[in-house]
Amino acid sequence: MNPPDKPLSSIVEAIGHTPMVRLSRIIPKSGASVALKLESMNPGGSTKDRIALALVNAAEREGRLRPGGTIVEATAGNTGIALAMVAAVRGYRAIFYVPDKMSADKIRLLGAYGAEVRVVKDVPRSDPLNYQHQARQLAEELPNAAYMGQFEHPANPDAHFATTGPEIWDQCGREMVAFVAGAGTGGTISGIGRYLKSKNPEIAVVGADPVGSIFTGSYQPFQIEGMGEDYYPQTLDTAVVDRWVAVSDADAFAMAKRLAREEGILAGGSTGAILVVALQVAEDFPAPSTVVALAPDTGRNYLSGFFGRNLLPDANLPIESDKAQSVGHDR
């Protein structure tokens, strides 16, 4: 990634063009390699910077968000952080509903950008007190407010089709045999996967999913933030995903710790889950094949969470691939 040759007009112009790093110590035995797309290098610290800008632009274009207005969204943290950053630049008020399993670090970050945070109980979407329903209701009641709708608006996957997908293809397309990402809204894996398959239909798109998410089984509470759901969002295109692999909270957090201590890459628990799956997928391919995995955000969002706990498996222990359960269809 080359630095800009002149000052940018605002921080949002720094979104995108994130680097990709080939892992050198956490490697599969097959001879294939795993490369991480480091979305933590976005200015807001996650891949959600891309969709936040797209959602705000869409709301302005559609006339739902006007000068002096209020951005309202339901978020597990990263989309809210990104929207708060864009709101600061554009002069909007920002209010976010977040589930109470969200890390304290993310809540502090939202406040640092000047956003208002309303922490609510983490309940299924079928419950009227679900954070999405409460955020949508506030946007309907509050004058000059707009609900961003990351779980419904096509600007979410379209942003990744237009930016992240082409970046990944330019960085590693000809060597890539598979792409691994998680899904919360599903916009990331859908948009990137759709683009990559338009360039090479043989690329396998694999979804990493927490044990307890309905993408790989029946719903039950899980701790990994930002991925997994209790319903299928409109922004998720399941036809793009060739198969899903379920990963436990403990394995995801242990792998995230390994990534920090062995590769110097501080990433969140969702990255840990994605990397568990990427290593498993890579065992099916010989050198010089490359499996590209998305690292959605920075581990700095979780210093008060799993990085601060000592109750998880030793981060130096290898992850046993039979603990990751694969479901879905292979193409």
pLDDT in tens, 143-165: 999 999 999 999 999 999 999 99
Q: Is 48 a catalytic residue?
A: yes
C-alpha 301/C-alpha 281 separation (Å) is: 27
Q: How confident is the model at residue 102 (pLDDT cuts 50, 70, 90)?
A: confident
225 burial (CB, 10 Å; 0-12 / 13-18 / 19+) is buried
pLDDT in tens, 229-255: 999 999 999 999 999 999 999 999 999
The pLDDT value recorded for residue 319 is 40
Query: Predicted confidence band at 323 (pLDDT cuts at 50, 70, 90)?
Result: very low
Q: Is the pLDDT of residue 81 over 70?
A: yes
CB atoms within 10 A of CB 328: 16
245-303 per-position pLDDT tens digit: 999 999 999 999 999 999 999 999 999 999 999 999 999 999 999 999 999 999 998 88
What is the pLDDT at residue 331? 36
Residue type, 211: V
Overall fold of domain 48-147 = Rossmann fold (3.40.50)
Tell me which of 6, 29, 48, 106 is the catalytic residue.
Answer: 48
Q: Which residues of 259-281 are buried (b: 16+ CB within 10 A; e: fewer)?
A: bbeebebbbbbbbbbbbbbbbbb
In this predicted structure, the answer to whether residue 328 has a pLDDT above a threshold of 60 is no
Percent of the chain with pLDDT over 70: 92
Name every residue whose Cβ is closer than 8 Å to that of residue 61 and which is 6 or more positions away in sequence.
none
pLDDT at 70 exceeding the cut of 80: yes
Domains 11-41+160-319 and 48-147 share a fold: yes
Share of the chain above pLDDT 90, in %: 84
Q: 310: pLDDT confidence band, cut at 50, 70 and 90?
A: low
| CATH among 1.10.3720.10, 3.90.920.20, 1.20.1250.20, 3.40.50.1100 for 11-41+160-319 | 3.40.50.1100
For residue 76, what pLDDT is reported? 84
Q: Is 117 exposed, middle or buried (0-12, 13-18, 19+ CB in 10 A)?
A: buried
Map out the domains of the chain as residue ranges: 11-41+160-319, 48-147
b/e per residue 168-188 (b: at least 16 CB within 10 A) = bbebbbeebbbbbbbbbbbbb
Q: What is the pLDDT of residue 3?
A: 62
- Give me the mean pLDDT over the 125-147 stretch: 95
pLDDT number for residue 312:
44
Q: For residue 101, what pLDDT is reported?
A: 83
Tell which wins on pLDDT, 130 or 5. 130
pLDDT for residue 46 is more than 70: yes
Q: What is the DSSP letter of 319?
A: P
Residue 305 confidence (pLDDT) above 90: no
